């Protein structure tokens, strides 16, 4: 009957209608909650005192003891007691889902003195923030939700609801800078797993963009990423960007060393890197240099050995790499004998070597030397003949050498 009477004011007296509806809603909600929690009702003897009566006759009811609430009290009990506070009308509207009205009528400039008032103010701040997030107006939610940030760790329902709305909000924002601002707000407010991941994604992307735009250098980017790892040390996006930056940085250092002919230092830098891709790339380059030097005879014996060794050290698991390293070792041992003028010993070692390419390489080495000597006429005939015999001992049936052997009168079968 009272509800019907209030409705008659709706068209002709809209403001009065809203005010009476607010008050009626508060008392109606109080009655509903008192039925569920009778021990938390406000009474004088057996007379039930509703919030509207308490508000109108508060000075006459100074002796009325309102129920007490604590942090551990259930939500509905806290709501019931809060209905008797100065925030009661707004609390009722918010609890019933009329959030826009609750925001409009909530009192301001009141410092809460009781636990019920503190809860009421916090509940209204939460409800207002909830409303703004629901309307995709997250910037308006920032200040009010910060007021109840301390409540979230102990209030899983509030925490989960705001986290859910933030997840929805992130899909609405398209501006990159706004996404980052929202990510920082969400993380600082809740520190939920989703908020941490979202912040890391956007902070990492911002670092990447700054690096591309050269507003920061690689060292600064790595420092910022290391700081970001304090949020999540194992996040794949951070680790991936760190690896890429470290790869680029070390690759640039190695490239500079390589261009300056500091091959051993370049290889050492690659070996000390934690990036397996970088080791693989430098190892492949060493292998290619060895192969070209071996085929073209444009590297010294020592360089051939070094590049085969470096390739093996960087690529120990690659197929056939051990064989190449052993070929490099053989060439190195042969060269040691040649440096001592022990050419016959060097030839014997090459002949007994299990690798045919080593024998052929040494034979080609002798052929190249004798041809250059013959062309320049700076080698004695006896030495030219000796080099030819060494080549013949190593590769007597090599078709490419047949014309040379025939010309020098060396038997060819």
Pick from 138, 172, 206: which residue ends a domain? Answer: 172
DSSP-derived 3-state class of residue 22: helix
Does 200 lie in the same domain as 149?
no
Does 230 lie in the same domain as 307?
no
- Is 0.85 surpassed by the pTM of this model? no
For residue 14, pLDDT beyond 70: no
Distance separating alpha carbons of residues 396 and 90, to the nearest angstrom: 106
Q: Provide CB contacts within 8 A for 32, sequence distance 6+.
A: none
Does 222 lie in the same domain as 124?
no
Does 188 lie in the same domain as 120?
no
Lowest mean pLDDT segment, chosen from 37-51, 83-97, 227-241? 37-51
For residue 406, pLDDT beyond 90: no
Is the residue at 287 inside a domain?
yes
- pLDDT for 221 equals 96
Domain with 148, as residue range(s), is 1-172
Are the C-beta atoms of 231 and 198 separated by less than 8 Å? Answer: no
Distance separating alpha carbons of residues 13 and 388, to the nearest angstrom: 121
Q: Provide CB contacts within 8 A for 115, sequence distance 6+.
A: 68, 69, 70, 71
Of 260, 258, 268, 316, residue with least CA distance to 289: 258
Residue with the bigger pLDDT between 74 and 186: it is 186
- Type and span of the H or E element at 174: none
**pLDDT band of 410, cuts 50, 70, 90:** confident
Is the residue at 381 inside a domain?
no
For residues 293-311, one letter each, b for 16 or more C-beta atoms within 10 angstroms of the residue's C-beta and e for the rest, the string is bbeeeebebeebbbbbbbb
For residue 412, pLDDT beyond 70: no
**pLDDT band of 70, cuts 50, 70, 90:** confident
- Dihedral sign computed on CA atoms, order 397, 401, 386, 357: negative
Are the C-beta atoms of 14 and 97 separated by less than 8 Å? Answer: no
Of 80, 88, 92, 99, residue with least CA distance to 33: 80
Does 180 lie in the same domain as 324?
no
Structural domains counted in the chain: 3
Pick from 213, 243, 260: which residue ends a domain? Answer: 260
- pLDDT for 114 equals 86
Residue with the bigger pLDDT between 202 and 406: it is 202
For residue 64, pLDDT beyond 80: no
Is the residue at 366 inside a domain?
no
For residue 1, pLDDT beyond 80: no
Residue with the bigger pLDDT between 159 and 41: it is 159
Which string of DSSP letters, residue by residue, matches 203-269? Answer: HHHHHHHHHHTTSS-HHHHHHHHHHHTTT-TT-HHHHHHHHHHHHHHHHHHHHHHHHTT-HHHHHHH
Is the residue at 369 inside a domain?
no
Is the residue at 100 inside a domain?
yes
For residue 411, pLDDT beyond 70: no
Does 184 lie in the same domain as 168?
no
> 43-44 and 47-48: which strand pairing?
antiparallel
Does 266 lie in the same domain as 234?
no
Distance separating alpha carbons of residues 30 and 49, to the nearest angstrom: 10
Of 171, 163, 209, 213, residue with least CA distance to 187: 163
Helices (H) and strands (E) counted in the chain, each on its own, are: 21, 2
- pLDDT for 69 equals 75
Render pLDDT for 95-150 as a digit per residue (tens, 0 to 9): 999 999 999 999 988 888 888 899 999 999 999 999 999 999 999 999 999 999 99
Pick from 172, 206, 229: which residue ends a domain? Answer: 172
Residue with the bigger pLDDT between 380 and 16: it is 380
Is the residue at 404 inside a domain?
no
- pLDDT for 352 equals 94
Does 142 lie in the same domain as 4?
yes
Does 166 lie in the same domain as 254?
no
Is the residue at 299 inside a domain?
yes
What is the percent of the chain where pLDDT is above 90?
74
Does 215 lie in the same domain as 149?
no
Does 215 lie in the same domain as 68?
no
- pLDDT for 9 equals 55
Is the residue at 23 inside a domain?
yes
Residue with the bigger pLDDT between 378 and 103: it is 103
Does 71 lie in the same domain as 150?
yes
Render pLDDT for 169-222 as a digit per residue (tens, 0 to 9): 999 999 999 999 999 999 999 999 999 999 999 999 999 999 999 999 999 999
Residue with the bigger pLDDT between 94 and 55: it is 94
Distance separating alpha carbons of residues 358 and 351, to the nearest angstrom: 9
**Hey, what are 248's tokens?**
């680029």
The mean predicted confidence, pLDDT, of the chain is: 91
């Amino acid at each position: 009957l009272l509800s019907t009477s209030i409705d008659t004011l709706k068209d002709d007296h809209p403001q009065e209608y809203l005010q009476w509806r607010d008050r009626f809603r508060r008392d109606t909600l109080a009655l509903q909650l008192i039925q569920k929690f009778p021990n938390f009702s406000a009474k004088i003897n057996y007379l039930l005192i509703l919030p509207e009566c308490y508000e109108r006759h508060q000075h006459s009811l100074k002796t009325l003891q309102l129920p007490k609430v604590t942090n551990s009290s259930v939500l509905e009990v806290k709501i019931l007691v809060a209905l008797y506070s100065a925030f009661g009308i707004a609390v009722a509207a918010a609890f019933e889902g009329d959030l826009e009205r609750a925001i409009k009528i909530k009192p301001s400039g009141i410092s809460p003195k009781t636990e019920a008032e503190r809860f009421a103010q916090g509940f209204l701040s939460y409800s207002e923030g909830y409303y703004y997030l629901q309307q995709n107006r997250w910037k308006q939610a920032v200040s009010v939700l910060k007021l109840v940030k301390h409540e979230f760790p102990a209030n899983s329902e509030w925490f989960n609801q705001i986290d859910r709305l933030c997840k929805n909000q992130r899909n609405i924002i398209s501006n990159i800078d706004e996404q980052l601002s929202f990510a920082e707000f969400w993380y600082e407010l809740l520190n939920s797993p989703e908020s941490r991941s979202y912040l890391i994604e956007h902070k990492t992307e911002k670092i990447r963009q700054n690096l591309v735009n050269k507003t920061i250098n690689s060292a600064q980017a790595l420092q910022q990423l290391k700081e970001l790892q304090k949020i999540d040390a194992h996040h794949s996006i951070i680790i991936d960007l760190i690896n890429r930056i470290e790869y680029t940085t070390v690759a640039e250092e190695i490239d500079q060393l390589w261009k300056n002919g500091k091959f051993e230092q370049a290889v050492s830098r690659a070996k000390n890197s934690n990036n397996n891709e970088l080791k693989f790339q430098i190892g492949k380059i060493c292998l290619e240099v060895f192969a070209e030097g071996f085929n073209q005879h444009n590297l010294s014996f020592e360089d051939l050995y070094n590049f085969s060794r470096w390739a093996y050290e960087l690529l120990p698991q690659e197929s056939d790499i051990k064989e190449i390293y052993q070929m490099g070792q053989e060439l190195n041992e042969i060269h040691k004998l040649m440096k001592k003028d022990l050419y016959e010993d060097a030839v014997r070692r090459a002949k007994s070597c299990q690798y045919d390419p080593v024998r052929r390489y040494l034979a080609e080495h002798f052929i190249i030397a004798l041809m250059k000597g013959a062309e320049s006429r700076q080698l004695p005939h006896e030495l030219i003949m000796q080099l030819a015999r060494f080549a013949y001992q190593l590769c007597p049936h090599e078709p490419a050498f047949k014309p040379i052997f025939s010309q020098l009168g060396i038997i060819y079968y």
